[in-house]
Amino acid sequence: MADTHAFLEALKQRAPWVDELLLAPELLHRVQPPHLQRLVAAYLERGGKRLRPAVLLLCCGAVGGDEKHALPAAAALELFHTWTLMHDDIIDHDALRRGGPSGHALGAQLAAADIGLTGPAAEHYGVSLAMLAGDVQHGLCVNLFLNCTNPNPALVMQLAADLELNVLCDLVEGETIDIQLADRPIEAVDLDETIRMMYLKTGALYEFAGKAGAMLGLNTTDEKHPHVDALRRFCASCGIAFQLQDDILGVVGTQEKLGKPVGSDIIEGKRTPVLLEAYARADQAQRTELLRVVGNPEATDQQVRRTIATIVELGAVQAVQAMARERIEEAHTALAAVPSSRYTRWLAGWAHYMIERDF
Amino acid sequence: MADTHAFLEALKQRAPWVDELLLAPELLHRVQPPHLQRLVAAYLERGGKRLRPAVLLLCCGAVGGDEKHALPAAAALELFHTWTLMHDDIIDHDALRRGGPSGHALGAQLAAADIGLTGPAAEHYGVSLAMLAGDVQHGLCVNLFLNCTNPNPALVMQLAADLELNVLCDLVEGETIDIQLADRPIEAVDLDETIRMMYLKTGALYEFAGKAGAMLGLNTTDEKHPHVDALRRFCASCGIAFQLQDDILGVVGTQEKLGKPVGSDIIEGKRTPVLLEAYARADQAQRTELLRVVGNPEATDQQVRRTIATIVELGAVQAVQAMARERIEEAHTALAAVPSSRYTRWLAGWAHYMIERDF
């Protein structure tokens, strides 16, 4: 779709603006000793689409603001996202991120290569350094945000304080619920809980990107300004749709595009909307089959493929696709309150992209 | 000494002012779900002397400032200290903190009691939640700092940005060096490295408390103002003396006052100034004895007692006491540049207290 193409072009144009701040040598060189610097730089240097910064900048432009003044806040959001990834990867025991070792895995490699540590000692070194690297990225995020050149320091302070209290609490609450749900029986998990978790883990930060971009663009401290409110709601809906699409692709995507095995969410026992929808629609025999595979690291490839086929046959993927489409419709309705421009067209393209993408 | 007594009174007076912000129910209730809230509140509710906030407030008063305006920044420093403790306790495998279970130990207890997890699963739940709880405290710290009622928002932003870049990078660098030194042979560790580590891990945050208190009190963004510079240097020296005294008490203190076994630094193999001084002065036989016990979790109580006796006989404790006194003399010299008042007398009392305390 043309809208999506134009959005992707706008995204590509903005990435280097963001990277100039994110990868500024004077910032990264401040981080010592070298092992810690390597971990802090790793995820940032491996790319990533810089989606959150772009959304903030486009929302700033959509209300007639100067994107230039919002650039540090935009780059700060990428750092915010990055420190949460670094800590989440420890929690989820993830060994890979953006085509390279995760922070703690890289730390363990450095411990082995440079200090001669092995086994649990190397692993603990890796976890320790990845935790500290996330802490440094969190600090760099706040520092960058507060360097916003927007002429109103009270506005910048208000937004940074909001990010560090409300967005952070939401995000960490979502992560904690994610941890806790994995130990609850499937039938005791409510679909609404998983959707709320998606809002907390992903939607809240996108919502903030929309709100902050609009408030910086309008140079207003008024969160209730109609364009601020519209863009905030637009972004929150797109953020949840993004997560729903992730859930779908985890079942019907391809390993090549996902960068991880299809069905890994199933093996990890993640309580996702697709799984809950399938379980709700399944008969007793199908439920037994699901329970044998979900959260079972010993499940064979064949069992996983069969389970995926069952989930699809039950219509669970279509049901979640419908939920994602509904979110995107809500998003478009919200966006309609903002005067149309190339910025709103790009944002509409982003909304399409959230449910069209296959990776 | 009278000065110390007056300082301790001033400290006691300020703790409730700080706690009113730190333990504000509306802040803690924002943190969900309940397990995470428990961890975030645990260290704060168990007391602590609120030393860093008091130092910031006294430095504010020493330059004629109104302590009231600096209170959120003061409370924020306690939160900053607290999140670093939460993450350090994970790194150091510490099970106790302030007379209760450490964050990750408490998390593991909650996992067992409420979710039925055991063994490594409960431990991983504890570590995950303690990491996230530290992240939340970090966010609350920034939020509180930015709520400073000082009339100059540009000053508050400058200080918060400094805390989050420079102080945080210093502190995390010190923690990383601490991790790395434990795997280096004693003879390959330099005394100056351990002193620098003490500055990074402890001195830098006290230095910031002095600088921030003075700048808020003077309402100036000028870091070079002579009173700012004097109080900054005063606090940095006291912070290092504090750590040197900690090192001394780890060897010649009493378990009752320390709250942990005497000699535990020796068993953990920490590269401390007392150990390095002792090793430098030891003959070959004594070095062999030291190497048998340092970093050896199997060492018997008798071996540890003998090693402590050797360390004392070699004059290592006296040598480090002399270093600490030197830092306190430097501190007094710096403080002399600030017009004397009850505030400077309290600060002088703090300096004495740093090397007089036996716990």
Q: What pLDDT shows up at residue B99?
A: 86
Q: Mapping DSSP to helix (H, G, I), strand (E, B) and coil, where does residue A152 land?
A: coil
By CB neighbour count within 10 A (0-12 exposed, 13-18 middle, 19+ buried), where does B107 fall? buried
Percentage above 70 pLDDT, chain A: 98
Q: Residue A116 and residue A125: Cα distance in Å, rounded?
A: 11
For residue B101, the cross-strand partners are B96
Tens of pLDDT, residues A323-354: 999 999 999 999 999 999 999 999 999 999 98
Nearest to A160 among B90, B142, B166 (CB): B142
| Test mutation, A146, A159, A166, chain B, max B CBs within 10 A | A146
pLDDT, mean of each 10-residue run, chain B (359 residues): 86 97 94 98 93 98 96 97 97 90 98 96 97 98 91 92 98 96 92 96 97 97 98 97 93 76 83 95 95 92 93 96 97 98 97 86
Spell out the domains of chain A, with CATH numbers in brackets. 2-356 (1.10.600.10)
Q: What pLDDT shows up at residue B205?
A: 98
Contact between chains at B165 and A143 (C-beta distance less than 8 A): yes
Q: What pLDDT shows up at residue B259?
A: 65
Residues from chain B that touch A136, judged by Cβ atoms under 8 A, are 168-169, 172
Contact A206, A235 (CB under 8 A): yes
Taking CA–CA distances from A26, the nearest residue in chain B reads: B165
Q: How many CB atoms lie within 10 A of CB A183?
A: 15
Residues from chain B that touch A221, judged by Cβ atoms under 8 A, are none
Tens of pLDDT, residues A175-233: 999 999 988 999 999 999 999 999 999 999 999 999 999 999 999 999 999 999 999 99
Residues from chain A that touch B147, judged by Cβ atoms under 8 A, are 161
Enter the pTM of the model. Answer: 0.96
Q: Residue A98 and residue A259: Cα distance in Å, rounded?
A: 8
Contact between chains at A154 and B157 (C-beta distance less than 8 A): no
Residues from chain A that touch B30, judged by Cβ atoms under 8 A, are 165-166, 169
Closest Cα of chain A to B65: distance in Å? 22
Instruction: Specify the DSSP element, H or E, that contains B35.
Output: helix B34-45
For residue B13, the cross-strand partners are none
Tokens of B160: 């918060």
Distance from CA of residue B236 to its chain's centroid? 12
Contact between chains at A87 and B132 (C-beta distance less than 8 A): yes
Contact between chains at B168 and A135 (C-beta distance less than 8 A): yes
DSSP β-ladder status, B96-97 and B100-101: antiparallel
SS3 string of B229-243?
HHHHHHHHHHHHHHH
Q: What pLDDT shows up at residue B269?
A: 87
Candidates A130, A38, A22; CA nearest to A76 is: A22
Nearest to A157 among B132, B157, B177 (CB): B157
Nearest to A161 among B115, B128, B146 (CB): B146
Taking CA–CA distances from B180, the nearest residue in chain A reads: A115
Q: What residues contact A124, with CB distance under 8 A and at least 6 apart?
A: B91
Residues from chain B that touch A124, judged by Cβ atoms under 8 A, are 91
pLDDT, mean of each 10-residue run, chain A (359 residues): 86 97 94 98 93 98 96 97 97 90 98 96 97 98 91 92 98 96 92 96 97 97 98 97 93 76 83 95 95 92 93 96 96 97 97 86
Contact between chains at A161 and B180 (C-beta distance less than 8 A): no
Q: Mapping DSSP to helix (H, G, I), strand (E, B) and coil, where does residue A46 land?
A: coil
Q: What length does chain B have?
A: 359
How big is the CA angle at B26 (ends B25 and B27), to the nearest 5 degrees? 90
Q: How many CB atoms lie within 10 A of CB B95?
A: 12
DSSP β-ladder status, A96-97 and B100-101: unpaired
Nearest to B172 among A135, A143, A183 (CB): A135
